[in-house]
Structure 1
């Protein structure tokens, strides 16, 4: 690339392919990288594993000068620099572990322009000495990683981050870019304000992690429940989170007593012990780390296959961040939370010392987490809704609710009607606790004073515990059949609640503890292992570990699990075919190509297998990757839609509900950029809908539906809207 001319999108793609072995941008990467190239300040929110680091690493190689990255933890800086070095990129970090001689050498390389990325802790970056040094070199831009730490509304506020506002004053005209995996709208705005960003680009990716399977279980026999998860992932990396240090120690010991290599991690250990335990986990010398929430932010390990919360985290933001440490490579991973109402009490006590304003926000987030645990809606939907987003798919196929592993009461309609009737008869003037007492036939003084023991709904659920009824009320709130109003969370019936009373809809309500029963569950189908030779994959893992030990770097830096699975699927035996594997850039091909291809060839000869099954022409040609959340059923549906099948026909073939298949069709139309709806809607109907859209606009479907005299289905309207949007898009 000509260093005198501005970099282009093609230059970005060429850089990604050369150094990282990827051929395409992931969602929002192109927009984020172009903001850096054009010196436009930005706030970028991407889920963990979404390729956030590449958003500043790639343009750093396409702009003259050195990119300065503020990063909060030494271990995180080191791993980032090791990963960049393994790809053939000159990067460095300065922290307390770097000697004086090393700092002088790094400074010389920065001055000469040899070093393209420099990682610093916020405190060091903002020191007078560092700022004076940077003023004398060509700084291409500043990247603030883990930028939610700037905001007091974030879940991990760090006061020292606030001082970075001075960068805009000290380096006028130099772009400042903030990156985080977790930030609500309020936090995003606060980040931009605290950094003094100038008309920043706000780039917010989907908070959904479709490769993660979320499960919530009532905590009963804690260790047995943990062991069940660990046993499903033999010889794979996992993290178990606890609230208390004592629990960390006891669970780690129990795992080791049961033959599972595990280490504890908490603030009570020395710095040296914590560092060693973290390195042993990263280098795959142990399979499990049992930790307090202090663990994880400083690692970039891509192949964590499960995260277990043995205790509840303190907020949904924390849960998104901690569970997000699983499956960063995009492959399937499992996240299990063991839920106990006692943990709520523990956290409320621990958060009670916060200032009033912060305490109110913390309690709100804790309540949202409680609803996530007891709710009966799709877990993926609940998570993204908290961050102000929606899922397009009605079923995620990746949580206990959508997989049918949550035990529901047999007649949710009758139970829901009893609860709503009671709330109506108490005048919609009380909260959940009082209504639960009335339903359970409590002799509470307040119930008797108000003569609510005289209501027809008094004692309707006297065979149930108050806790069970409270849980059902919360589930009805979550399904928008009840609303909490005012300062005291008074319960009011919604329109959906009145539909329930009329018997028009049925809520999902869980069975109380003790009534749950074992029954066949739907299994999530995944094609991440399709065509992979498992024995070859395991032998490649061993080779990877050996090479990582030789280089003194984490195993995942050599190659991620997704690259190893591709190797075990396509079995490349030449340098040419090896370079075509995703994640193999020029430097890694040069460093590891010979040893890995020879290993693969020897294995295939021993097993009598064909080598080089990779389809060269498919990989070399430009291609659009399928969506990350594309399930096998979705792929089957796409194929059938391409053959002209109707929604009913596809639903029958793939054995999915019509509503689910309708969502698949709308996604198919968007993905294929189809502009003609007449394969699924008659020409006359399509023209009527288009005319109604012209009259009513596309912002809401109900006005269109009513304009058409309720003679056309919502499904047909959505199909036509999707096609129209494709016509209007550039």
Structure 2
């Protein structure tokens, strides 16, 4: 064993540090003694050093089993920077040529290589097993060890095969390292690696410099742009669940003047590596990524981590947010939450084996609980990892900064505990809640629990109330959730004590994300500047006389309302106003932005940030496809049918297209379905008589008996397209 003083000298010599972080020194001493070691250390705690330093001190080569090629390259480059000899660290994986592989093997056999990084897949190859049998192995280190567990957030079946392969190559001390593991996952890792007797070194999961916040998912792209515009030059990572969303969001950020790049497993390796390097070298500020990005990315000054989509598990969330503020500086973690996303994730699970579905659902429920609960975020997170947080107010999460209303919960807690006991601790929280509120669903009926005296005994409250009570009883330790049986509820010793002697207990109401609906009104009249609105109407009136066009052909009222809310002062910004588009902005917009700009200047108006959000394209793929079908003169009813739409929906799409300034020619279809006189009457009405483009006004004027609403809408499309665009 190395002496304490020697360890400090080695640390200084190899890495230039004067002191160890946390329990690094104890971990390294344990490895040097030849003991099996389990290291649970949050991101930024200095896990890598725990195997790097002993590998440099001990004779032989340490085998580091690691899941990602990008991670290995990163680690090998870092080790080579600390040494004069490139042979000191190598990786062995599918990205290497035969010549490179031979060089690696030569350096290992020559005793130059102290650390060899291998992917589990490479470890299983027969030729590699045979080669490693010849090597003097100092110890094995399994990095990102949570990948072993089906209960972890990143389960990889190939990790399950590590133990038998190590046994085949030859026994040496074993290390397992992870930045995130619940007690269940930790046990799973130790059991699978055959290291239940290992010394366990567990650091606190508390990251006091991180600020946790959950926001309702309403206009998330706008929110993200606002946040990034207010933090110019700061490094950020935005996580999305799908590759498609990664591409779309990165593009949206770029057109809004934010330096952003995408990263996901569907991109070719060289582009991925290029984008990752650009982020590390500060050539780009923001990476929009799937969870493929970030494992082992050692960038200390990431200031913002956002989740566009809520993650599949709290472990995943903790791991990803842990990439913020690794230098101890500011780190903001913002997640956008909508229960619809959870339902989507549940749908994706269908078709998987039942046990996997059960595990997935349990992990999702924990995420829902975290998002919807209004108790301290830090308390919830640390409880999940088996750690107690005793502070009343962490002051660094949205729930502590803006506390929710409290209620007296003594009677409710007693009722929940009694119900769990009455039903022999054999049910999950949703079943207990359905009994309390009297929800007569299939599961309740099948157990005949609808005939029990407790059925409906808590119906004075809704399911949200009972959810809040159960969640907070779990965090307070009255109830234990048995993860092995997919979430059955049991009463703890503390819970039994509370039942014997109940006392006053205050709890907070959950967040109600269901009531926050997406705002579909495009104009946003709430903040309309009425002076500007009337000035814009006057301008439109003058322009309509000058061009001999009805005012609504130039811009509709909702578009003027939006201009009076968001104050666009350039043609580019005007294009982003609902119902404007590129064509109209270029044709009619010059005078409008000029008027708005002078109004803003004269009145010293602080323009809202929302305005700067530009969409990537004014026409969706659907719109482009419709326009192409019209160019081929396909009948409109056939276009609707081919797109799986009702005719009414297709007409709406066409209205949206022409009102945004794009010209379409549907004469071929109108001529087929409409009498020439009817077409001309409607066209004349819009050109000469109409004061508004409203269909109701047209029907009143033209007569409902002679003209159908669909005919009027089709001719209005023709009219706007020909006259306005």
Once the two structures are superposed, residues 339-364 of structure 1 have per-residue CA deviations (whole angstroms, 9 ceiling, x without a partner) of 11112212222223332333322222
Partner Cα separation in structure 1 for residue 267 and residue 77 of structure 2: 26
Query: Aligned residue for 1:609?
Result: none
Conserved 8 A contact 2:130-2:169: no
Asked if residue 39 in structure 1 is aligned to residue 34 in structure 2, the reply is yes
Q: Give the drift of 1:211.
A: 2.2
Among candidates 5, 8, 12, match of residue 3 of structure 2: 8
Conserved 8 A contact 1:426-1:452: no
Residues 48-57 or 392-401, more deviating: 392-401
After superposition, the Cα gap between the structure-2 partners of 1:511 and 1:92, relative to the gap in structure 1 and judged at 3 Å, is: closer
Query: Aligned residue for 1:507?
Result: 507
After superposition, the Cα gap between the structure-2 partners of 1:394 and 1:113, relative to the gap in structure 1 and judged at 3 Å, is: farther
Root-mean-square deviation over aligned CA pairs: 4.0
TM-score between the two structures when normalised by the length of structure 2: 0.61
Q: Return 5+ residue gaps in structure 2 as ranges.
A: 517-725
Asked if residue 62 in structure 1 is aligned to residue 68 in structure 2, the reply is no
Question: Which structure has the larger Rg?
Answer: 2
Q: Give the drift of 1:404.
A: 1.7
Query: Aligned residue for 1:95?
Result: 93
Partner Cα separation in structure 1 for residue 31 and residue 475 of structure 2: 42
Partner Cα separation in structure 2 for residue 119 and residue 480 of structure 1: 43
Partner Cα separation in structure 1 for residue 169 and residue 277 of structure 2: 37
Query: Aligned residue for 1:149?
Result: 147
- Aligned residue for 1:157, secondary structure, equals coil
Once the two structures are superposed, residues 460-486 of structure 1 have per-residue CA deviations (whole angstroms, 9 ceiling, x without a partner) of 56xxxx575465445554555985999
Q: Give the drift of 1:102.
A: 3.0
Once the two structures are superposed, residues 522-547 of structure 1 have per-residue CA deviations (whole angstroms, 9 ceiling, x without a partner) of xxxxxxxxxxxxxxxxxxxxxxxxxx
**Matching of residues 355-504 of structure 1 within 5 Å:** 355-401=353-399, 403-406=400-403, 408-409=404-405, 412-413=407-408, 468-469=464-465, 472-478=468-474, 480=476, 504=504
Say which structure, 1 or 2, has more relative contact order (CA 8 Å, 6+ apart).
Answer: 1
Partner Cα separation in structure 2 for residue 485 and residue 106 of structure 1: 49
Query: Aligned residue for 1:266?
Result: 264
Partner Cα separation in structure 2 for residue 270 and residue 94 of structure 1: 20
Query: Aligned residue for 1:139?
Result: 137
**Matching of residues 650-669 of structure 1 within 5 Å:** none
Partner Cα separation in structure 2 for residue 329 and residue 149 of structure 1: 26
Partner Cα separation in structure 2 for residue 368 and residue 337 of structure 1: 15
Partner Cα separation in structure 2 for residue 175 and residue 125 of structure 1: 17
Partner Cα separation in structure 1 for residue 416 and residue 159 of structure 2: 51
After superposition, the Cα gap between the structure-2 partners of 1:490 and 1:87, relative to the gap in structure 1 and judged at 3 Å, is: closer
After superposition, the Cα gap between the structure-2 partners of 1:8 and 1:394, relative to the gap in structure 1 and judged at 3 Å, is: farther
Query: Aligned residue for 1:222?
Result: 220
After superposition, the Cα gap between the structure-2 partners of 1:23 and 1:361, relative to the gap in structure 1 and judged at 3 Å, is: same
After superposition, the Cα gap between the structure-2 partners of 1:133 and 1:470, relative to the gap in structure 1 and judged at 3 Å, is: same
Report the number of matched residues: 501
Residues 507-516 or 279-288, more deviating: 507-516
**Matching of residues 157-306 of structure 1 within 5 Å:** 157-197=155-195, 199-297=197-295, 299-306=297-304
**Matching of residues 588-607 of structure 1 within 5 Å:** none
Query: Aligned residue for 1:329?
Result: 327
Query: Aligned residue for 1:112?
Result: 110
Q: Give the drift of 1:155.
A: 2.4
**Matching of residues 540-551 of structure 1 within 5 Å:** none
- Aligned residue for 1:177, secondary structure, equals strand
Conserved 8 A contact 2:310-2:337: yes
Q: Return 5+ residue gaps in structure 1 as ranges.
A: 1-5, 517-730
After superposition, the Cα gap between the structure-2 partners of 1:124 and 1:500, relative to the gap in structure 1 and judged at 3 Å, is: same
After superposition, the Cα gap between the structure-2 partners of 1:78 and 1:271, relative to the gap in structure 1 and judged at 3 Å, is: closer
After superposition, the Cα gap between the structure-2 partners of 1:342 and 1:138, relative to the gap in structure 1 and judged at 3 Å, is: same
Conserved 8 A contact 2:240-2:307: yes
Among candidates 77, 83, 87, match of residue 82 of structure 1: 77
**Matching of residues 543-562 of structure 1 within 5 Å:** none
Q: Give the drift of 1:442.
A: 9.8
Query: Aligned residue for 1:349?
Result: 347
